[in-house]
Amino acid sequence: MIGINLYYEKEYASSPRSMPGCQKLLCLLGILLLALAAISSVAEAGCSCGIGNWDPYAFLNSELGSGQPVQLGSTQGSANAGSPVAPKPEDRVDAFPGGESLETIKSVSSSDVVVDLSNDESYARSHIKNAIHLSAGSFLNDDGSLKSILDLVKTLGDAGISQDDSVVLYDRSQSSGEAELAFWVMSYLGHKDVKLLDGGLADWEAAGLPVESRDNRKDVVEYRPDPKPELLSQYEYVKSGQAQILDARPFDELDKDRVPGSTAFNPGNLIKGDKIKEAASLDVVFERLSKDKPIVVYSDDYSRSSLVWFALQLMGYQASIYSWEDWKAHEIKDVKGETEQAAGKAASSDKYMKLGNS
């Protein structure tokens, strides 16, 4: 480039006439084009001018301030681009408002006490490795009524479960409601760390996780409860009309009698395959219910009502369980008391008022 400048200076310095303005402009343009061509050839050959081989486009492939390359199609830095994308939940349990009650299969730890709630034959045939067995029926009396708190505590303690254990419950299928019954019982007793496995044995095996057939047992321990009585509704509360009432009995029982104002509900609507439906589907199932008013679920089968109760709390509803048998027992007493009170109107009203409220 220096040689080019000297050439033009020499030529026009020796000329007897000055160069016209337009020719000067063309000359300058020619010099500029030649200079750019010279720079380009140097760049192609590689320049060692003390600043290194710098790629002027490198910053386009780096995350601002990190110096790390960003792969094409990556969502890194999308917030800076002005179009942030909401992260997709890693597991389906994250979509439930009460998803902390579910345990994903991949999250089960060796420190968890895994409890199989299936029947004896199923457990003996195959179960999750190291799982102990506890029949859901052990929480109930022979007539299907719920055992007392003292008996429930003994059932858990005899199985080797303490109130400090991290417990994961499962059954062959969530449609049975047996694992949900155990979950409700332990919640009622105030157990702080209990979850329901999101899936059954088939899902566990499909994930390539170990199973076995040996009988696992734990030493008997003392279980110290911290009861949550609000999870078990009483007759007076149910009759008061303060709650939304769901009747979870089988269809053929619904036309015999019911709690006044109750709504029939089929627990089968909560299940798809062997698992509780996705959160979006449960939203549709429960769309007529209000979250601003508590819910009471009753049935003549605690497994059915526990399944409905569990799904409700998964979706963020305040719910409790009630027994249909308790309702019938109180209604018979009330009707009898009212009849006796009417027949003995001449007698002391205090006596019959007491009978009616017994």
- What CATH number is given to the structural domain containing 125? 3.40.250.10
pLDDT(183) > 50: yes
- Domain endpoint, select from 183, 210, 228: 228
Mean pLDDT of 48-77: 36
Give residues with Cβ within 8 angstroms of 17, minimum separation 6. none
Mean pLDDT of 140-167: 97
User: Quick check: is 301 in a domain?
Assistant: yes
Least confidently predicted of 55-59, 144-148, 211-215: 55-59
- Domain endpoint, select from 172, 197, 228: 228
User: Quick check: is 335 in a domain?
Assistant: no
Are residues 97 and 218 both part of a single domain? Answer: yes
Are residues 188 and 97 both part of a single domain? Answer: yes
User: Quick check: is 26 in a domain?
Assistant: no
Are residues 109 and 208 both part of a single domain? Answer: yes
Are residues 241 and 187 both part of a single domain? Answer: no
pLDDT(346) > 50: no
Mean pLDDT of 55-63: 33
pLDDT(275) > 50: yes
User: Quick check: is 290 in a domain?
Assistant: yes
Are residues 194 and 110 both part of a single domain? Answer: yes
User: Quick check: is 312 in a domain?
Assistant: yes
Distance of CA 51 to the CA centre of its chain: 55
Are residues 132 and 208 both part of a single domain? Answer: yes
Are residues 214 and 109 both part of a single domain? Answer: yes
Quick: pLDDT tens for 296-324. 999 999 999 999 999 999 999 999 999 99
Instruction: Give the chain's mean pLDDT.
Output: 78
E strands of the chain, at which residues?
Answer: 102-103, 113-116, 127-128, 132-133, 167-170, 194-197, 211-212, 244-247, 263-264, 271-272, 275-276, 295-299, 319-323
**H-helix segments, 96-210:** 120-125, 149-158, 178-188, 201-206
Structure confidence at residue 168 (pLDDT): 98
Structure confidence at residue 252 (pLDDT): 78
Task: Please indicate whether residue 339 or residue 251 has the higher confidence score (pLDDT).
Answer: 251
pLDDT(113) > 60: yes
Are residues 188 and 257 both part of a single domain? Answer: no
Residue 91 pLDDT level (bands cut at 50, 70, 90): confident
User: Quick check: is 14 in a domain?
Assistant: no
Are residues 223 and 280 both part of a single domain? Answer: no
Are residues 223 and 107 both part of a single domain? Answer: yes
Mapping DSSP to helix (H, G, I), strand (E, B) and coil, where does residue 116 land? strand
Quick: pLDDT tens for 120-140. 899 999 999 999 999 999 999
Are residues 202 and 165 both part of a single domain? Answer: yes
pLDDT(115) > 70: yes
User: Quick check: is 257 in a domain?
Assistant: yes
Q: What is the tally of structural domains in the chain?
A: 2
Residue 65 pLDDT level (bands cut at 50, 70, 90): very low
User: Quick check: is 163 in a domain?
Assistant: yes
Structure confidence at residue 254 (pLDDT): 77
Are residues 241 and 219 both part of a single domain? Answer: no
- Domain endpoint, select from 168, 201, 228: 228
pTM (two decimals): 0.70
Q: Domain limits at 209?
A: 92-228
